[in-house]
Amino acid sequence: MPNVKGTRDLLPSESVIWARVEETARRVFSLYGYGEIRTPVLEHTELFVRTVGESTDIVGKEMYTFEDRKGRSLTLRPESTAAVARAFVDHRLGEQPLPVKLFYMGPHFRYERPQKGRYREFHQIGAELLGDPGPASDAEVIRMLVGFLEELGFEDLTVLLHTVGDQETREAYRAALVEFFAPLAEQLSSESRKRLERNPLRILDTKDSAERELLIDAPKLEDSLSAGSREHFAGVRSALDRLGVKYRVDPGLVRGLDYYTLTVFEIVSEGLGAQNAIVGGGRYDRLLADLGGPDLPAIGFAIGLDRLVESLPAAFRDRCTQAPAVRLIAIDPVPKLAAMELGEELRARGVAAVVDFGNDRMKAALKRAHRSGARYVLLLGEDELAKNAVTCRDLNAGEQSLVPRSEIVGLLHNRLRNQIKGQIKGQIEGQIEGQPAGQPGRQRGEGEA
């Protein structure tokens, strides 16, 4: 029986890469003071209707919604910002020292046409900073995100930056769009006519070529920006320049969810083709209050993990390996229990080891060892047992030696530990090389207008 359309199985060769990406996210985010939060996959439907917006495609077309046995409407989460905000309010996290920094990772669900990097069950990594209204927080979130992507080896990143303004701005801009599009309503699609009534800003997201032509002469958001919105955006840009983050202001960038205010951003990678956005995010200063919580500002982002993994640089993928370092082969008539016993001793010292349980010839067993990616093969035969020793074959170096049984565990432990230390040292030296003194991370140019 095949898997459900829009879902997929992650086999070990791929899931090990996912795990390494998630480990990198946990490490980088924790350096900035973020803690992990895990919210339920199921939420009350009303949560997303209230926060994401009833006029959005997510709520109107894409959510997996059903009634439980008591007639309550439940939804598989299509995104997590609303869920994190709900948990923040429920658990009174606003009473902690502010800002509160949270990150999450896990599956989400939307009913949409599956395509490359896009699935109906998809995964996201995201973070939310709650409780600080300043532009410096916006800049730090973006800087952390760029640093995380660089840790994964990305070099072709572009930060797109814009502001959608505060409530005063949005109301003024909404009125300007309605005034502009009302006489042109007959030229709009049925979907855009609905948006004109409910949320005209969503028309800016249209993919219709004829409507894109109309947008050329449409009012510009910049003309409706309040003084406070302009000041906040200038502060974000100044902070990004100070942190050395290269960005480009994109007046066409609008986030599709209703709760966004002020700063919005995307980070794109040219390697992804037409669907090149890796991550999107922005500020949402009214969401917590809308959920009945404290009137606190917040900013966050979400990364599409499926698309991110598919576009990872080859160098990062090559470092993700799950092959056990040691493979043990018992040569008949030596009992395999002897190999199993040695395997347990190796694992107790932190050395990954697999016992070959095959009953075929030595040649076939060695072929399996080579294909498995193991670094060392340990051979146990009659000669080895008679000498209380083990034949250790280094598959990388093409060398082998007879090692006393009492020494083999310590020998392999030390060799593999030194190998890992050497790899880490090489990575650190590669990151440091070419950096100016006192400058963390790769040096970047000034922000571009």
Residue type, 289: A
Residue 432 vs residues 118, 400, 441, 443: alpha-carbon distances, Å: 36, 37, 8, 11
Per-residue pLDDT of 135-180, as tens digits, reads 999 999 999 999 999 999 998 888 999 998 988 888 888 899 899 9
pLDDT attached to residue 168:
86
pLDDT > 90: percent of the chain: 55
DSSP letters spanning 306-351: HHHHHT--HHHHHH-----SEEEEEPTTS-HHHHHHHHHHHHHTT-
Across all residues in the chain, what is the average pLDDT?
86
pLDDT attached to residue 283:
94
Q: In what order do the strands lie in the sheet with 261-269?
A: 35-36, 100-109, 121-130, 298-304, 277-283, 261-269, 157-163, 247-249
Per-residue pLDDT of 171-221, as tens digits, reads 888 899 899 988 988 888 888 888 888 778 778 778 788 888 888 888 888
pLDDT > 70: percent of the chain: 89
- Rounded to whole angstroms, the Cα distance separating 100 from 108 reads 23
- List the CATH code of the domain at 326-425: 3.40.50.800
Structure tokens at 430: 């590669």
How distant is the alpha carbon of residue 241 from its chain centre? 25
pTM recorded for the entire structure: 0.81
Whether residue 303 has pLDDT greater than 60? yes
Per-residue pLDDT of 50-60, as tens digits, reads 877 655 556 66
User: Strands 389-394 and 399-404, how do they pair?
Assistant: antiparallel
* 12-166+226-318 shares its CATH topology with 326-425: no
Say which DSSP state 3 is in: P
Task: Give 182-190 contacts, CB < 8 A, sequence gap 24+.
Answer: 184/214, 187/211, 187/214, 188/214
pLDDT attached to residue 124:
95
Whether residue 433 has pLDDT greater than 60? no
Whether residue 12 has pLDDT greater than 50? yes
Contacts with 272 (C-beta within 8 Å, 6 or more apart), sequence order: 117, 278, 307, 311
Q: Is 433 exposed, middle or buried (0-12, 13-18, 19+ CB in 10 A)?
A: exposed
pLDDT attached to residue 56:
59
**Pairwise pLDDT comparison (447 vs 39), residue with the higher score:** 39
pLDDT attached to residue 437:
38
Q: Are 39 and 80 in contact (CB under 8 A)?
A: yes
pLDDT attached to residue 309:
92
Fold of 12-166+226-318: BirA Bifunctional Protein; domain 2 (3.30.930)
Residue type, 431: Q
Task: Give 220-224 contacts, CB < 8 A, sequence gap 24+.
Answer: 220/251, 221/162, 221/163, 221/164, 221/165, 221/169, 221/173, 221/251, 221/254, 222/251, 223/176, 224/165, 224/169, 224/172, 224/173, 224/176
Q: For the chain, which residues make up each domain, given as ranges?
A: 12-166+226-318, 326-425
Mean pLDDT value of segment 61-68: 89
